Amino acid sequence: MDEQLLGLLGFARRARMLFTGMEAVRRAIARRQAALVLVSRDLGRDNSKKIKFIAQSNNLPLYIISDETDWRGKTGLFGYKIIAVKKGPLAEGFKKKL
């Protein structure tokens, strides 16, 4: 994952513009608060299928990115493999970088 994207992810976390974990992401999508979904490459097959179906059903872009170990120290997102970015200008910045 490139440094600019990691920087954006860290900034979004500090600005509380992220939903992290399967349940929070599912709720954000259901409430139409999510603009895009980021999924770690090492997410389990069942959860991967579930989140892909949910994102596609709601016409949300889903990006598979490098494994969650890249997200750690620089972003403070320990242990999360599914992340949604809230709608808004920050999400548009993510889309440009991805």
Return the pLDDT at 41: 87
Q: What is the full per-residue pLDDT of the chain (98 aa) written as tens digits?
A: 577 888 888 889 999 999 999 999 999 999 999 999 999 888 899 999 999 999 999 999 999 887 655 666 667 777 788 999 999 998 988 888 88
What's residue 20's pLDDT?
93
Which amino acid does the sequence have at 57?
Answer: S
Correct CATH for 3-97 of 3.10.450.50, 3.30.1330.30, 3.40.640.10, 3.40.50.300: 3.30.1330.30
| Whole-number Å distance between alpha carbons of 51 and 62 | 9
The pTM for the full model equals 0.87
What pLDDT was estimated at residue 33? 97
Q: Do residues 29 and 52 touch, judged by C-beta distance below 8 A?
A: no
